[in-house]
Every structure is written in structure tokens, then in C-alpha cells.
Amino acid sequence: MKNSNPEPIKGVLNKLTITDLDIKGKRLFVRADFNVPLDEDLNITDDRRIRSTLPTINYAIDEGAKIILSSHLGRPKGKVEPKYSLGPVAKRLQRLLKKEVTFLPDCIGPEVEKAVSEMREGDVVLLENLRFHPGEEKNDEEFSKALSKIADYHINDAFGASHRAHASIVGIAKFLTSAAGFLLRKEIEYLQGVVNSPVRPFVALLGGAKVSGKIGVLGNLQDKVDKVIVGGGMAFTFLKAMGHPVGDSLVENEMLNLAKDIIDKMKAKGIKFYLPVDCVVSQTIEPGAETKIVPVQEIPNGWKALDIGPASVRLFAEALGNAKTILWNGPMGVFEIDAFSRGTFAIARAVSDAYALTIVGGGDTDLAVTRAGISPESISFISTGGGASLQLLEGKDLPGIAALTDKP
């Protein structure tokens, strides 16, 4: 059963937000994160990132602003590549907003300036992919200035890109008053809030492939959590550091001493630290490959661990049982392949059933929740940012947040 009051503990955002501005009749340059997955026919396969920005867009429409939407998609590396066009996003936005969205063929230049000058209150346009210009990723001043020419205010609602010092995130804020949209504010409230003042017991559940990607998070959380659960490929670096044979499982040998240090520090602070006790092993990462379930101390040579086993699921679910705050970042195994998905999906169900504030983010964790058949409504908050959420959980400033205009 879910917590009947899954409200975030507020993070501190001493920056302007969209509600602090008088936007009626004003041109808003809204930086969104529409970097959505597309299939081979360029159909959007998951539109959650588009839907996440709708509250900001609808508020701006209702307040009578002129909304100029922008985003990147993929990695075109400063060149025009049709497969990375935002055309499919314009169509999906039109359906979701139930109003016309004018799609412009570029993001700067006379044609864009003319189209924007003809906008009326409540109109919505979408600019073409910002990364078709090399100046976007280089945070080029001239490109930033060109973007700023078409707007009165800059609204950052692209949390998933806010760890990047790019022109549409950071550079443009030198020329325009810059405020957070509703999604950006919500991400900060949940992610910073849970780290600053969690309701206890606070459990961090970390997975994914590599320890190196989560070291900063573990370091920042070690004074704040009550329990740490580690699964996924990264668990086997910890297990090897404790002297267990791990067969051909993924291990970062250069991280072994650091992993041992983390275990020792957690124990010294009285933090309960959980690792898998059994795992699903195979000789190849392929559908249909032979698998076995073995204790972690008995992984055969030539075999690799690719999922947590049923005893680990029970152990981890029990550890989550009394949590009041759960932060989950990273899957428990190679869940994209059916034979190695059961551990991740079982943990997804345990998190969704917990009587706690539950925050999911980073890597493929949100995809794992969807694949497990979990309704997004049964998770308190699902972050839209991978690298951005990790940096925030590490206690680092994000360039896109730092660039926002300070509150007076």
C-alpha cells in the first residue's frame, strides 16, 4: 500500500520559477527535454518526457504567453541529420495539447524570427533540433545570443539536460531572465529534498553496471541513509573486494580498494549494507542461453552473474519493508533479456508496494519499472534525468540550475 501522503520534502531552490514572472503577452523560450526514443520508422516509443513538460506549457498557454519550445534529440554532432528531427515531437505535442503546434525548420535565423514575430498570445511553436548547430554543445556566445533574440524570458524545464553547460541551458541565461519550469522545480524538490531531510528509515537501492558511476552518490549519502542495498553488475566489484570468487562477472578491478573502504565506512557508521546472496549466472548474455541460480560464493569459472537470485530478492524486499523513504537508481540485472529480468522486476514490485516515499531515477530504472508492469502512479516520483539526477544526488551543482536567475 502506498503512503497516503507521498509529498516531497522540499529542496531549497532560491531561484526564480515561472510563477514569479508576469508572462502575459511575453515570448517564452522554453528549453524542454524532448530527447525521446524513436523506432526505425521514427515513431515515438515513449513520450513520458514530453508529457512531463505539459504542466509548464499549459500554464504558459493559460497565462497568455507566446511559447517557443526547444530541445535536442540524439547526437547529431552539430550537423543536420533528418533522423534526429523534432518533427515527430511536434505531432505528438499537438495531439497532447489538443492545439496547433507550429514546427519551424531551424532554431535561429530570419525565418524563425519572422514566425515568432507573428505569434499571438497562447500560440505554441517548436524549434528544430538545437544540436543541428555546433554552437549548442559548445555553449557558444553568439549562438546563445541568437537564441535569446527571439524571446523575453528563458524557462528551463529540461532537467535531464541540466548537467550540461550548453547554450540553450546556460549561455542564453546571460542574456535573458531565466526561471525554472514546473518539472525542473519538482525534480529538485524531490531529489534534493530526499537527500537533505529524508523521512526515516531512508533506504538507498543502487544497481546498474559500474561502481564508478555511483561512487559520488554513495559518498554523499553515507551520512544520510540508514540502509544501502547494492545489486546489478556493480555488486560484484564489492563481492570480489570481500574476497568472493565472482567467475567472469563484471568487475572494476581498479575500484576494489575503494569498494572495500565503502563497506568499512558503512559498517563503522552503523549503516546496514546489503549485497546479493545468490545470482542468476550464464556463460553468455543472450536470449535462450543456459542459466543457473547459485550462491554468490559459488559462481563457476567461465560464468557471469547477470541478475540477482530469488534469495536476494527476498532479502532486499525485507530490507525495504520498514522504509519510509526509498531512492532507487539502477537495475538489478540485464533486465532487457527475459532470463535475467526477474530480479529487477521483483524489486520494482517491492518498491511500488512499499509504504514509503519512493523515488526512481537514473539509467534504465524508469524503463525497468514500465517493463515490470508497474503503474507510474504507484511510484511517488520518477525522475526524467539520468546523469542529471546522479549529479544532484552526489551533492553537485548542476550548470542549468546555477544559471537560473536568483530570487531577489
Catalytic residue list contains 363: yes
How far from the centroid of its chain's Cα atoms is residue 283's Cα? 31
Residues 245 and 300 in one domain: yes
Q: Where are the beta strands (DSSP E) in 157-300?
A: 177-180, 202-206, 227-230, 272-274, 278-282, 291-295
Q: What is the 3-state secondary structure (H, E, C) of 336-353?
A: CCHHHCHHHHHHHHHHHH
Residues 176 and 192 in one domain: no
Please work out, in degrees rounded to the nearest 5, the angle formed at the alpha carbon of residue 396 by the alpha carbons of 223 and 262.
35
Domain that holds residue 382: 188-393
CA gap 29, 21 in Å, rounded: 13
Residues 231 and 334 in one domain: yes
* Of 265, 305, 263, 302, residue with least CA distance to 281: 305
Q: Which of 87, 216, 387, 395 is catalytic?
A: 387
By the 8 A CB rule, do 178 and 21 touch? no
Residues 170 and 257 in one domain: no
Residues 306 and 220 in one domain: yes
Cα-Cα end-to-end distance for the chain: 42
| Residues 106-142 as b or e (16 or more Cβ within 10 Å = b) | ebbeeebeebbeebeeebbbbbbbbbbbebbbebbee
* Of 163, 164, 165, 157, residue with least CA distance to 141: 165
Catalytic residue list contains 260: no
Residues 157 and 192 in one domain: no
Q: Which of 193, 207, 363, 386 is catalytic?
A: 363
CA 181 vs CA 18, 28, 31, 115: distances in Å: 6, 11, 9, 24
Residues 253 and 332 in one domain: yes
Residue 200 lies in a domain: yes
pLDDT tens-digit profile, the chain (408 residues): 344 334 444 445 689 999 999 999 999 999 999 999 899 889 998 898 999 999 999 999 999 999 999 999 999 999 999 999 999 999 999 999 999 999 999 999 999 999 999 999 999 999 999 999 999 999 999 999 999 999 999 999 999 999 999 999 999 999 999 999 999 999 988 888 888 888 999 999 999 888 888 888 888 888 889 999 999 999 999 999 999 999 999 999 999 999 999 999 999 999 999 999 999 999 999 888 899 999 999 999 999 999 999 999 999 999 999 999 999 999 999 999 999 999 999 999 999 999 999 999 865 888 888 889 998 889 999 888 878 888 888 888 899 999 999 998
* Structural domain count, the chain: 2
Q: Which of 49, 131, 164, 342 is catalytic?
A: 49
Which residue, of 145, 180, 215, is where some domain finishes?
A: 180
Catalytic residue list contains 269: no
Going by their DSSP bridges, the two strands 381-382 and 66-70 should be labelled as unpaired
Please work out, in degrees rounded to the nearest 5, the angle formed at the alpha carbon of residue 362 by the alpha carbons of 135 and 274.
150
Evaluated on CA atoms 261, 266, 267, 272, the torsion sign reads negative
CA gap 38, 112 in Å, rounded: 26
Q: Would you state the pLDDT for residue 4?
A: 37
CA gap 399, 169 in Å, rounded: 8
By the 8 A CB rule, do 69 and 97 touch? no
Residue 404 lies in a domain: no
3-class state of residue 140 by DSSP: coil
Which residue, of 117, 146, 180, is where some domain finishes?
A: 180
Report the greatest alpha carbon distance in the chain.
70
CA 390 vs CA 21, 268, 288, 301, 372: distances in Å: 30, 25, 34, 34, 23
Which residue, of 151, 180, 209, is where some domain finishes?
A: 180
Residues 77 and 96 in one domain: yes
Evaluated on CA atoms 378, 381, 383, 388, the torsion sign reads negative
Strand partners, 60: none
Residues 117 and 206 in one domain: no
Question: CATH no. for residue 117?
Answer: 3.40.50.1260
Grid look-up 515531437 returns 89
Residues 289 and 376 in one domain: yes
Catalytic residue list contains 210: yes
Q: Which of 145, 210, 260, 265 is catalytic?
A: 210
Q: Would you state the pLDDT for residue 363?
A: 59
